[in-house]
Amino acid sequence: MRLTVGICEDDPSLRRVLRQALDLAGHDVVMAHTGGEALKLFASDAGLDVVVMDIGLPDADGRDVCQALKTAGQEAPVLFLTALGAVHERLSGFSSGGDDYVAKPFDIKELLARVAVLGRRGRQLTNGTNHTGLILDPATHSLRTDAGEVLLSPTEFRMLAAIAARSGEAIRRHAVIAAAWPDGAMVSDNTVDSLMRRLRGKLTEVDAPVEIQTLRGIGFRLHPIEPDDRR
């Protein structure tokens, strides 16, 4: 099956290897060098079947880029490439919206097999549309809407991205924590709730069309604000 694969990798030699291998396997490749370029090229591309994302990018954490892509409406499965191989690092990749994980160095045949498996899941029914009205920039950790822009802390960015990437769904509190603290941490409920209050204030600051709801005993959900509620 011929796939269209988005690759985001900053190492030029590895980029060449990946492109050559995917070309020989009969796939089409869209190549990005940085997280910012990946967001620009991949976010609205409804034709992508798989995204292969390096975590250690020069301008952003690949996990943040993944969350930003999901928030923008990109639903292609994501395979992370990284030199980080600890269990909590792999788990944080999955919490950030990743579907698979390959630690460097890797066998190119294994990578091709994993890409093929992800591709066989089929394209999800999506038009790549951003339904949240939010634009997340993983390089600057900023949030933009039509009404303005506000800076977020890295933790605030990851918390919001974890919820916005699956807009309308209930996101468990532990999943938000895993995404927001990718290196692992013991985090109190008070800390999470305090950061959520700050996030809600920043969403209001840029007149966001969505709000974060707390689902007692479950977690959080991003929900659209009805026009009447803005009055």
| Domain segments of the chain as ranges | 4-120, 135-230
Q: Domain spanning 135-230 has what CATH number?
A: 1.10.10.10
- Evaluate whether 187 touches 176 at the Cβ level (below 8 Å): no
d(CA 136, CA 96): 14
What length is written for the chain? 231
Write out pLDDT tens, residues 110-169.
Answer: 999 999 999 987 554 444 556 688 999 998 999 999 999 999 999 999 999 999 988 888
pTM of the entire predicted model? 0.81
C-alpha closest to that of 27 among 6, 41, 45, 46: 6
Give the count of beta carbons closer than 10 Å to the beta carbon of residue 50.
25
What tokens appear for 73 in the block? 């409406």
**How much of the chain exceeds pLDDT 90, in percent?**
63
- Which CATH superfamily groups domain 4-120? Response regulator (3.40.50.2300)
d(CA 229, CA 231): 6
